[in-house]
């Protein structure tokens, strides 16, 4: 019995351990599945932005003209929704006038150009208004490989040989053309003005200029053509733009027997003051007229001089027909849309500001494949510049635009205007070889 009990006890203990060993193992503590690492946040793709830097005066007597040019440029951008070939265009305007004088300033203009060059999103420099200012910025943008297009510079030496020493090569340190305009230069305008004066029946001209690059340049061209065609030149004198008293000078004009005064200069370099004093000195009553350049084709003149003073006494030349008679669909739409958008007539160089912006938009569009592939600002600027050089038959406000090897348009026109009934009234198309009828 004892042996049996011992064996039974051993059996029971053995059975217990066997059952314990066979029992289901205790489950390991449940652990939360590892949290997946958040996907790395990708930075948004850099916006495809192209900046266009514009530079011209926006002070004093230049406010009407400067505002109209800026409005026209903005309108062209608005019409494109500021988008071209997937790029967003931003216009950055910089005033290049001195706060002290209200006129363009070389130091300010140089700083404006340098700001544009330093901005790696800037691919075009849109300026200047004054030809003298262009002499400052052109070498800078040329060296940077940046396209520059002007809404108003007309001094021939910026693009053509035969004027000041070294021109135009001194503005092209890279040896390549990067500067463009969509209208005729002063070699065409000055000669056209002289031929028109001859056809109007004037016999003797007294020439004045403001001694600036633009004013003296166009006056010199006028004088040369006048002598060629037999229009007597009584004298040619320069004035200081800071002067406000021209009575002594106008006494000389009156004594010379001249029947027309040709003024090469700007609104802010003496033009309105000379008109006022021609009236006060009795020159207008004596039948003497003023003939001037495109810079005097602006509403800033009748804003500075009573319109009744200059009615019938002021003639100007400008590189366009009357703005309400532009010959192309682009020009007609520009005039209509500008009036509707700004509740005002476009004036002066606003049409060529619009024209220049059309060139910019078209150049960027054609350059887009190269822009997309470019990896640095140098390549991007080169793409736009190459496209601008290749502009051909682009519809513009007064005709198709094609650039020659110097960046000048291959075709252009010139008109004569008379200030009459408080506004500039188109008279006829003019040219240096026009025949008098």
Q: What is the pLDDT of residues 208-226, one digit of tens each?
A: 999 988 899 999 999 999 9
Asked if pLDDT for residue 405 goes beyond 80, the answer is yes
Instruction: Give me the numbers of helices (H) and strands (E) for the chain, helices first please.
Output: 13, 15
- Give the pLDDT band of residue 323 (cuts 50, 70, 90): confident
Tell me the pTM. Answer: 0.80
Binned at pLDDT 50, 70 and 90, residue 413 comes out as confident
Q: Is the pLDDT of residue 247 over 50?
A: yes
Q: Is the pLDDT of residue 373 over 80?
A: yes
pLDDT average, residue stretch 333-355 = 94
Mean pLDDT of the chain: 89
From 67, 58, 71, select the one nearest 334 (Cα to Cα). Answer: 71
| Cβ proximity of 142 and 171 under 8 Å | yes
The answer to whether residue 19 scores a pLDDT higher than 90 is: no
In the predicted structure, residue 235 carries a pLDDT above the cut 60: yes
Phi, psi (deg, nearest 5) at residue 211: 65, 10
For residue range 161-204, what is the model confidence (pLDDT) as tens digits? 999 999 999 999 999 999 999 998 888 999 999 999 999 999 99
| Of 57 and 16, the one with more pLDDT | 57
Q: Are 171 and 412 in contact (CB under 8 A)?
A: no
Ordered structural domains, the chain, with CATH:
49-183+326-401 (3.40.50.2300), 186-318+415-429 (3.40.50.2300)
- Mean pLDDT within 321-349: 93
In percent, the amount of the chain with pLDDT more than 90 equals 75
- In this structure, how many other beta carbons lie within 10 angstroms of the beta carbon of residue 304? 16
Q: Are 431 and 192 spatial neighbours (Cβ–Cβ below 8 Å)?
A: yes
- Please compute the mean of the pLDDT values over residues 376-380 and round it to a whole number: 98
**56-75 pLDDT per residue, tens:** 999 988 898 999 999 999 99
What pLDDT is attached to residue 241?
Answer: 67
pLDDT at residue 213 in the model? 86
Rg (CA), the chain: 36
Give which of 208, 138, 189, 133 is closest to 166, Cα–Cα. 138
Distance of CA 339 to the CA centre of its chain: 20
């Amino acid at each position: 019995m004892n042996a049996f009990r011992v064996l039974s006890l051993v059996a029971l203990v053995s059975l217990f351990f066997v059952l314990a060993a066979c029992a289901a193992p205790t489950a390991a503590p449940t652990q939360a599945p590892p949290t997946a690492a958040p996907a790395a946040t990708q930075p948004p793709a850099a916006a495809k932005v192209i900046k266009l830097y514009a530079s011209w005066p926006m002070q004093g007597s230049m406010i009407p003209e400067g505002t109209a040019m800026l409005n026209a440029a903005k309108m062209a951008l608005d019409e494109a929704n500021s988008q071209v070939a997937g790029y967003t265009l931003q216009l950055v305007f910089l005033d290049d006038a001195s706060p002290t004088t209200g006129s363009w300033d070389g130091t300010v203009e140089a700083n404006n150009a340098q700001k544009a060059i330093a901005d790696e999103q800037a691919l075009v420099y849109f300026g200047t208004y004054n030809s003298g200012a262009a002499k400052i910025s052109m070498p800078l943008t040329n060296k940077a490989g940046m396209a520059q297009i002007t809404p108003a510079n007309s001094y021939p030496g910026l693009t053509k040989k035969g004027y000041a020493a070294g021109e135009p090569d001194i503005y092209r340190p890279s040896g390549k053309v990067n500067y463009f305009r969509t209208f005729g230069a002063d070699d065409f305008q000055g000669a056209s003005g002289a031929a028109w004066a001859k056809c109007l029946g004037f016999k003797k001209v007294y020439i004045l200029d403001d001694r600036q690059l633009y004013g003296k340049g166009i006056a010199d061209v006028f004088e040369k053509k006048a002598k060629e065609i037999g229009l007597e030149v009584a004298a040619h004198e320069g004035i200081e733009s800071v002067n406000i008293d021209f009575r002594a000078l106008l006494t000389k004009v009156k004594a010379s027997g001249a029947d027309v005064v040709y003024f090469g200069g700007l609104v802010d370099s003496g033009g309105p003051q000379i008109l006022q004093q021609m009236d006060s000195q009795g020159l207008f009553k004596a039948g003497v007229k003023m003939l001037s350049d495109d810079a005097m084709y602006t509403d800033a003149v009748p804003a500075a001089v009573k319109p009744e003073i200059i009615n019938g006494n002021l003639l100007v030349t400008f590189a366009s027909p009357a703005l309400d008679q532009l010959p192309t669909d682009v020009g007609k739409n520009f005039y209509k849309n500008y009036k509707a958008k700004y509740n005002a007539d476009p004036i002066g160089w606003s049409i060529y500001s619009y024209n220049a912006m059309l060139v910019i938009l078209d150049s960027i569009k054609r350059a887009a494949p190269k822009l997309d592939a470019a990896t640095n600002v140098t390549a991007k600027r080169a793409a736009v510049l190459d496209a601008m050089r290749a502009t051909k038959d682009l519809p513009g406000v007064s005709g198709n635009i094609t650039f020659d090897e110097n960046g000048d348009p291959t075709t252009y026109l010139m008109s004569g205007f008379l200030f009459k009934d408080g506004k500039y009234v188109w008279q006829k198309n003019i040219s240096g070889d026009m025949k008098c009828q």
